[in-house]
Amino acid sequence: MGHWVLDDIPWDLFDRNKVDPEMVRIVKAASLVEYNGVAYAHHLCRIFSDDTEFQQKARGWGEEEIQHGKALARWAAMADPEFDFEAAFARFQAGYRVDFDLDVSRRGSRSGEMIARCMVEVGTSSYYSALRDAVQEPVLKEICGNIAADEIRHYKLFYKNLARCGERERIGFWRRLRVAAGRIAESSDDELAYAYYAANEAKRPYDRRRHSRAYAAHAYQLYHKHHAAHGVTLILKAVGLNPHGLLARTASRLAWWFIRYRATQLARLTRPSSH
Ligand SMILES: [Fe+2]
Ligand SMILES: [Fe+2]
């Protein structure tokens, strides 16, 4: 049982005047990615095939991700009654394929898988916190607040399980760092770009670079310094480094510089031509 249900959302406070059309586009894309959580939960249950305790937690986690998808999809349909979630999700599933039937982790070990999952939850918790702080529309603000709180708990769930895995399989620092960096780099892979395309532009052909930029251009604008700092703290903790020392402060500064740089660069690249 999750910490909230769809009926807890004050849907009747929806305020059309505070809807930003570009926000609707990224919310539609996010709803598809979140709703796909069930496939990841299935994959985790295969990787931890002899661990019924963790399997149960993974299923609960998958259900919460699905609820994120449902809440975002319902809000998107209020903002744009023409949004057909089922059709968009079918397009997303047909075009974005990952082999979820593997029973070993692509990260080489169970610990590696947990580090990768932690990185995803760092990304989502920072993202929904930034979205919650940026949006004006009250219903979406509430949804993002609930989701952000869930994503932090998800991080803790995987972090705790990482410690459990570490009792049986030790993976060295450099391996941890490599898995973490690899998963962060994958954030710019097809998943979000394809979701943005499937949710918003299905009549045109998929263009990975264009759709990836379209999604990221809006997402990068949302962040503030404290979102970056919080994300860095969680990343360092997961790879086994001190999350509060000089390294953390330097890494935060670098992360913030990078986010500003990317936001400016993406804004320039995606600006419609005046000709
Ligand atoms: Fe989520
Ligand atoms: Fe999550």
- Find the range with the poorest average confidence among 17-31, 84-98, 148-162, 178-192: 178-192
* Dist CA 58 CA 251 (whole Å): 31
User: How do residues 44-83 score in pLDDT, each as one tens digit?
Assistant: 999 999 999 999 999 999 999 999 999 999 999 999 999 9
Ligand 2 center from residue 118 Cα (angstroms): 9
Judge whether residue 227 has pLDDT over 50: yes
Residues with CB under 5 A from ligand 2 (ion): 121, 151, 154
* Dist CA 5 CA 7 (whole Å): 5
User: How do residues 110-144 score in pLDDT, each as one tens digit?
Assistant: 999 999 999 999 999 999 999 999 999 999 999 99
Ligand 2 center from residue 234 Cα (angstroms): 14
CA angle at residue 33 from 111 to 60, to 5 degrees?
A: 55
Ligand 2 center from residue 273 Cα (angstroms): 37
Judge whether residue 275 has pLDDT over 50: no
Q: Give 55's contacts (C-beta < 8 A, 6+ positions apart).
A: 44, 45, 48, 49
Asked whether 121 and 76 are in contact (CB, 8 A), the reply is no
Q: Give 236's contacts (C-beta < 8 A, 6+ positions apart).
A: 242, 243, 247, 248, 251
Amino acid identity for residue 179 in this structure: V
The encoded tokens of residue 214 equal: 């379209």
For residue 69, the model assigns a pLDDT of 97
User: How do residues 193-205 score in pLDDT, each as one tens digit?
Assistant: 899 999 998 788 8
Judge whether residue 86 has pLDDT over 70: yes
Ligand 2 center from residue 121 Cα (angstroms): 5
Ligand 2 center from residue 115 Cα (angstroms): 13
* Dist CA 74 CA 11 (whole Å): 9
Cα distances (angstroms) measured from residue 160 to each of 6, 114, 121:
28, 9, 13
Please state the rounded mean pLDDT for residues 217-238: 92
Ligand 1 center from residue 244 Cα (angstroms): 26
- Find the range with the poorest average confidence among 10-14, 161-165, 170-174: 170-174
Ligand 1 center from residue 153 Cα (angstroms): 11
Ligand 2 center from residue 50 Cα (angstroms): 23
Q: What is the pTM of this model?
A: 0.92
Judge whether residue 148 has pLDDT over 50: yes
